[in-house]
Structure 1
Amino acid sequence: MVRRTTLSVFLVLSLLLGSLFGQSPFSRYRSDQKREAVSVGQAVLPSPIDGKVRVTEREVVELALTHNFDINLQRSAVLGQRWRIDQLRGFYDPQMSFSLNWDREKTPAASVLQGGPSLTNILSTGTSGYAQTFPTGTSFEVNFSGVRNRTTSFFNSLVPAFNTQFEILFRQNLLEGFGKVGQEYQIQIARNDSETSRQEFKRLATDVILQVQDRYWELEYALRDADVKDKSLQLARTVLEQNRARHDVGTAARLEVVQAEAEVALRQEELVRSRYNYRLVQDQLIQLVSNFEDPRQFPGDLVPADPISRPDTFRASFEELKAQAFEARPEVEQARLDLANQAVSLNLTRNRLRPSLDLVAGYQQFGLGGTLIERDFSQGLFNPPVVGVIPGGVGDSLDQMFSADYYGYMLGLTLQVPIFNQEARAENAQAQISVDQAKLRGGRVRQQIAVQLREALTRLEMNRASLEAGEVAVRSAQERLIAEEARFGAGMATTREIIEAQRDLLLAETTRLRAQIDLIKSEALLDKATGRTFDRFGIQLVDALARNVK
């Protein structure tokens, strides 16, 4: 009874092994793998009011994080990299194997001792096995086989005969792969690559955000520049009207009217160019923050809602900013992960320098059963008569196998030693060189970050000084224009002098506006150089990666 129960438990466990790791034992072999995917809907922007959509800098950054194609492409790459780890872990997946074979042979007998003038053998063979490899360099196998042999030889007592065998095999790497097989190194590299892809997402998103900030403030510049050009055109038209009135009463020459008309035409052209520049910059900004195929699908004109303000004076030292940059910049983390990967590869080559020495141990149990044919050999050995039949079958063979009355052991060592080991040593040398190169790349990254930080600080100081000078220039140009207008009204100034004063004011206001915008953009550049862009907009890397993922 105990033997029958043991057999039943073994067979039930064998049938259930295929479904231990899923609800259905066959679903993972016939259906697509369920996965996370990046799904991006159509960009939704605020409704236009009088044909204009007012947006803040933070709003356009949020739109870019959600809808920008480059950001979503890298977001999808992060998802793909996660599956690389699962792919490598598949090396340790348990393997189930089953086989059934049927073979029939009829052969002439070469000897009378084969049990007849000809022999017919019908073999039915079934095997099943379970195998698994472990990270420690250990492998484990459980195999079961059964053979049903039906023969016409009268020397066989069991017809049909059932041979069963149960086997457990254990293998352990003792030198190469001991404690950690090569697949573990690859998995460790894949984990680092996964984190590298996350840092690449942060780097790319930071670059896109910087482009969005640049286009946003360039849009503000284009709008204000158009206002300045329009104001300048109105001043030119006023002078033209005054000159025409003076010409009509005979106090001004025709040349002054022609000069004023030429100036009006020139400033109209400048206004047209400024408005065209606004449309061009708006298209570039819409491309960055939406997934519209055509930027003109956007219903309305974008108008920046943030006021132009002067950034606070930065009081941190260069060394403090550099330390912050080395801590926060994704490029530094990517360089560190690159060095870590090369170090892992070096350890893998060191492992492969060792000879291959494997310990193999096994245990077997055997069983035999079948229908017993009793023959009377007293009249001779050839073609003896059957005197009795004792029924039997596969159950008897299995009972005997699980009784452990018939068993065997095995123990062995397998050693493989490359005589010169040139391939492994060459790989090791290359891995050492790769580590050195990774260190150099890390040093280059840190140098580039320091240079970028210096450049950002220099631009900040330069643009701050330019703004201060621009404000002085605007005040001077305004005072001069007021004076020239007074002289012109009194008939003491010419049209050329008033036009020059207007042009000086136009140039001063344009220069100041450019300095204001460049100062704000240099602050954004400093944020990127120090790795503060995400913090400035309250962006968490985990939340940014999870956007659009369904």
Structure 2
Amino acid sequence: MNNLRLIFCFFCVGALVFGLSCQEIAAQTETAPTQIASKTLDTNEKSTLPSAESPAASAKTADYSTAGNLTAPYLTRVGIQTTQTVPLSLNEAIRKALENNNDIEVARDDVRFQETQLRSLRGAYDATFSVTPNYSRNATTGSTASNDFRVDAGVNKLFERGGGSINTFLNNSQTGSNSRNNTNFNQTSGLVSSNSSTTYFSNLGVTYNQPLFRNFGVDNTRRQIRIQRKRLQQSDADFRRQTIDIISRVQQAYWDLVFALRNQQNQVANVNLARENLRQIEVRIEVGSAAPLARAEVATELANREGELLSATQQVSTSENNLKTLLLREATAPEWTQSYVPTDTPVYSDDPIIVEDAIKDAIDNRPELRRLRLQREITAIDIDYFRNQTKPRIDLVSSFSLGGLSLGNQNTGDISVQQFTGNDEILRLALNATRASLPNPLPQIPNTTVNVPGTPAFFNGGSFQSFRNLFRSDAPSYSVGVTFEIPFRNTTAKANLAGARIQEQQTQAQTRSQEQIVVADVRNAVQAVETSRQRILTARRARENAEIQLEGERKLYEVGRSTTFLLFQRENALTNARNAEIRAETDYNKSLSDLQRATSTTFRLNNIEVDSPMPETDDKD
């Protein structure tokens, strides 16, 4: 009888302990939602689609703290100081990527390189100055050497408008020679002087060549400049596309990190719940209300949940590293050892997306289509140029110049000389003797004195005098002419024109193909947004039902009508339902960012301004 009383007392104590344990487990489970997920969807919260940010979202701060639990060994991350956290909003992440991302920097440098190429081509219209000094010495048998020193200078310039070219020149020569008969011939001036040993000649003028038919509207230089201007705009389109892709990847990585951290929180809470279950079952085993085998079942479940927590921690590291790859410039940046804590929470909106409007935005804004439109303009430039090259060449050629001459040091005064000198004087004397010996003497031939005027003063001097004589208006020279060049077949130009027209057809086909790809991309993105929105609603209902099922299973377990195995199944089902809800939320925001990319509205919806590389200029010259 005493043994029966002892057994009855032992049974009552065990029942009391079991009841208290169940109440603690229920209390732990009821508080789990605040530990597992700090953010649940608010159906009244709105955001402007397709933006992934809203004032309501940015006003909230997500809490990913896992302090106060016994899972620290399973939260360890290699090379990361989890105590050094860096709060990071989505907007800050985008700005950091714009400043530091290496792929964006490469695309930006390509735009700058294309700018230099355009400036290089425009250098063809820079004026050029040339100077050519030359000294020559010529000697022939029977005469002294002839020395000639020349300096030729000029400025050349090609005009962009009209395609004409101008050449201004200034030539100066100095020629001197002494022959046996003391006669000097200047080949530059064409003058003969019997007293001067050096002649100075200067020439100043300008020539202008103007195409009138071929190369008038467009030539190869202007063609290359126009094409390079389009290529610069293409590189700008490529830069915008690359920037949009990087921003989209940043948004995707950001929401992946948000999911990974919240999933880790859920797994931490699930592990803590399993630890509490293990503690409770050990108490029951001690008082004899449970078999020792029950501990193995709970310990196995705890080990499984700890393994899932390790996987969740690995996912956090992977997601964070993916985000850091997009945000950091250097592989040795100190932020690699720090832990990012996203401060933005997923947003939700019931506003519908109009497919037609999204497609219109994409057709108007997609950089790929803009690049193809620019390629069509490049092909049109080629067609215009090659069509021009099939025309005959008619060029207007004109020139105007002034010449200046000086003869060195000359006698500018009058000179009195005998009419007959030297051999002429001997001949005159002989003639006079003969005339005097005649029967009827003839009058004598007199040797009269003749006054010879000196060299004009403006010819007296050296090189500077010849320069001054340039501007005397008595020696202008000018010419006007036309050059005709008519090709008989012009096969090359015609073949190039046919090739350019084929390229135009190819570009049109490429544009149609790309438009189809863009439309399909937009439709898929819109469908993804709508699907993600519906997934949020279904995941929310699944989570709510999982909570109800767990509560019911717990009550059955308390009265002994359920097993630990079934209870663990319900707990795991609730954890999976919560993770599915979190995944649906983050996938919805990721689909919004993908829709921004598909419609190329990323810059506008994220308040980002991208300057054009160079101001637009008129292509018509």
The TM tier, using the shorter chain, reads 0.7 to 0.9
**Structure 1 pair 530–313 and aligned structure 2 pair: CA distance change class (3 A):** farther
Is residue 283–residue 296 contact of structure 1 (8 Å, CA) maintained in 2? no
Q: Deviations 1:69-99 (Å, cap 9, x if unpaired)?
A: 1112222222222222221111111111111
- Work out the CA distance in 1 between the residues paired with 2:476 and 2:422: 37
2:233 paired with 1:226: no
Which amino acid in 1 is paired with 2:290? A
Which amino acid in 1 is paired with 2:207? L
The Cα shift of 1:68 comes to 1.1
Identity %: 26
2:370 counterpart residue number:
333
The Cα shift of 1:166 comes to 2.1
2:154 paired with 1:126: no
Is residue 168–residue 362 contact of structure 1 (8 Å, CA) maintained in 2? yes
After the TM superposition, which residues 128-277 of structure 1 pair with which residues of structure 2 at under 5 Å, given as runs? 128-135=153-160, 136-153=162-179, 154-156=182-184, 157=193, 158-277=196-315
- Give TM-score scaled by structure 2 length: 0.73
Q: Deviations 1:264-294 (Å, cap 9, x if unpaired)?
A: 1111011011112111211221221121314
Q: Secondary structure at the match of 1:504?
A: helix
Q: Deviations 1:479-526 (Å, cap 9, x if unpaired)?
A: 111122222222221121111111211221111111111011111111
1:3 counterpart residue number:
none
2:338 counterpart residue number:
300
Is residue 353–residue 526 contact of structure 2 (8 Å, CA) maintained in 1? no
- Work out the CA distance in 2 between the residues paired with 1:298 and 1:544: 33
1:500 counterpart residue number:
569
After the TM superposition, which residues 36-75 of structure 1 pair with which residues of structure 2 at under 5 Å, given as runs? 51-75=84-108
The Cα shift of 1:67 comes to 1.2
2:102 paired with 1:77: no
1:347 counterpart residue number:
384
**Structure 1 pair 316–495 and aligned structure 2 pair: CA distance change class (3 A):** closer
The Cα shift of 1:50 comes to 5.2
**Structure 1 pair 404–379 and aligned structure 2 pair: CA distance change class (3 A):** farther
Which amino acid in 2 is paired with 1:139? S
Q: Secondary structure at the match of 2:145?
A: strand
**Structure 1 pair 137–379 and aligned structure 2 pair: CA distance change class (3 A):** farther
2:326 paired with 1:288: yes
Q: Secondary structure at the match of 2:403?
A: strand
Over the aligned positions, Cα root-mean-square deviation in angstroms equals 2.5
Is residue 370–residue 394 contact of structure 1 (8 Å, CA) maintained in 2? no
Please say which of residues 369-378 and 301-310 is displaced more in the overlay.
369-378
2:394 counterpart residue number:
357
- Give TM-score scaled by structure 1 length: 0.83
Q: Secondary structure at the match of 1:521?
A: helix
2:466 counterpart residue number:
397
The Cα shift of 1:206 comes to 0.8
- Work out the CA distance in 2 between the residues paired with 1:357 and 1:478: 90
Which amino acid in 1 is paired with 2:477? G
The Cα shift of 1:247 comes to 3.3
The Cα shift of 1:437 comes to 1.6
Is residue 286–residue 295 contact of structure 1 (8 Å, CA) maintained in 2? no
- Work out the CA distance in 2 between the residues paired with 1:539 and 1:476: 43
The Cα shift of 1:299 comes to 5.3
Q: Secondary structure at the match of 1:445?
A: helix
- Work out the CA distance in 2 between the residues paired with 1:544 and 1:175: 35
- Work out the CA distance in 2 between the residues paired with 1:243 and 1:422: 96
Which amino acid in 2 is paired with 1:463? S
Q: Deviations 1:278-335 (Å, cap 9, x if unpaired)?
A: 112112212211213146644531111112221x234342112211222222222222
- Work out the CA distance in 1 between the residues paired with 2:612 and 2:168: 46
**Structure 1 pair 408–274 and aligned structure 2 pair: CA distance change class (3 A):** same
The Cα shift of 1:534 comes to 0.7
Which amino acid in 2 is paired with 1:520? N
**Structure 1 pair 308–399 and aligned structure 2 pair: CA distance change class (3 A):** closer
**Structure 1 pair 395–291 and aligned structure 2 pair: CA distance change class (3 A):** closer
The Cα shift of 1:106 comes to 2.3
Which amino acid in 1 is paired with 2:200? F
- Work out the CA distance in 2 between the residues paired with 1:470 and 1:321: 27
Which amino acid in 2 is paired with 1:285? L
The Cα shift of 1:149 comes to 0.7
Match of 1:370 among 397, 407, 411: 407
Q: Which runs of 4+ in 1 moved over 4 A?
A: 372-378, 387-391
- Work out the CA distance in 1 between the residues paired with 2:607 and 2:239: 16
Q: Secondary structure at the match of 2:347?
A: coil
Q: Secondary structure at the match of 1:313?
A: coil
After the TM superposition, which residues 525-544 of structure 1 pair with which residues of structure 2 at under 5 Å, given as runs? 525-542=594-611
Is residue 218–residue 385 contact of structure 2 (8 Å, CA) maintained in 1? no
**Structure 1 pair 515–295 and aligned structure 2 pair: CA distance change class (3 A):** farther
**Structure 1 pair 296–480 and aligned structure 2 pair: CA distance change class (3 A):** farther
Which amino acid in 2 is paired with 1:358? D
- Work out the CA distance in 2 between the residues paired with 1:544 and 1:518: 35
Which amino acid in 1 is paired with 2:343? A
The Cα shift of 1:226 comes to 0.4
**Structure 1 pair 485–380 and aligned structure 2 pair: CA distance change class (3 A):** farther
**Structure 1 pair 497–380 and aligned structure 2 pair: CA distance change class (3 A):** farther
**Structure 2 spans left out of the alignment, 5+ residues:** 1-80, 185-192, 425-451, 615-621
**Structure 1 pair 296–142 and aligned structure 2 pair: CA distance change class (3 A):** closer
**Structure 1 pair 339–479 and aligned structure 2 pair: CA distance change class (3 A):** same
2:354 paired with 1:322: no
- Work out the CA distance in 2 between the residues paired with 1:369 and 1:328: 72
Which amino acid in 2 is paired with 1:121? S
Please say which of residues 174-183 and 499-508 is displaced more in the overlay.
174-183
Q: Secondary structure at the match of 1:418?
A: coil
Is residue 342–residue 434 contact of structure 1 (8 Å, CA) maintained in 2? yes
**Structure 1 pair 92–422 and aligned structure 2 pair: CA distance change class (3 A):** same
Is residue 112–residue 613 contact of structure 2 (8 Å, CA) maintained in 1? no
Is residue 156–residue 165 contact of structure 2 (8 Å, CA) maintained in 1? yes
- Work out the CA distance in 2 between the residues paired with 1:432 and 1:321: 33
Please say which of residues 182-191 and 394-403 is displaced more in the overlay.
394-403
Larger-Rg structure: 2
- Work out the CA distance in 1 between the residues paired with 2:262 and 2:520: 33
Is residue 283–residue 295 contact of structure 1 (8 Å, CA) maintained in 2? no
- Work out the CA distance in 1 between the residues paired with 2:566 and 2:461: 126
- Work out the CA distance in 1 between the residues paired with 2:297 and 2:401: 111
After the TM superposition, which residues 471-550 of structure 1 pair with which residues of structure 2 at under 5 Å, given as runs? 471-542=540-611
Which amino acid in 2 is paired with 1:220? V
Which amino acid in 2 is paired with 1:133? L
Task: Number of aligned residue pairs: give it.
Answer: 484
- Work out the CA distance in 2 between the residues paired with 1:119 and 1:380: 24
Which amino acid in 1 is paired with 2:253? R
Please say which of residues 504-513 and 238-247 is displaced more in the overlay.
238-247
- Work out the CA distance in 2 between the residues paired with 1:227 and 1:510: 10
**Structure 1 spans left out of the alignment, 5+ residues:** 1-47, 109-116, 382-386, 546-550
The Cα shift of 1:167 comes to 2.5
Q: Secondary structure at the match of 2:352?
A: coil
Q: Deviations 1:357-381 (Å, cap 9, x if unpaired)?
A: 2221112322322134899995469
**Structure 1 pair 368–270 and aligned structure 2 pair: CA distance change class (3 A):** same
2:131 counterpart residue number:
98
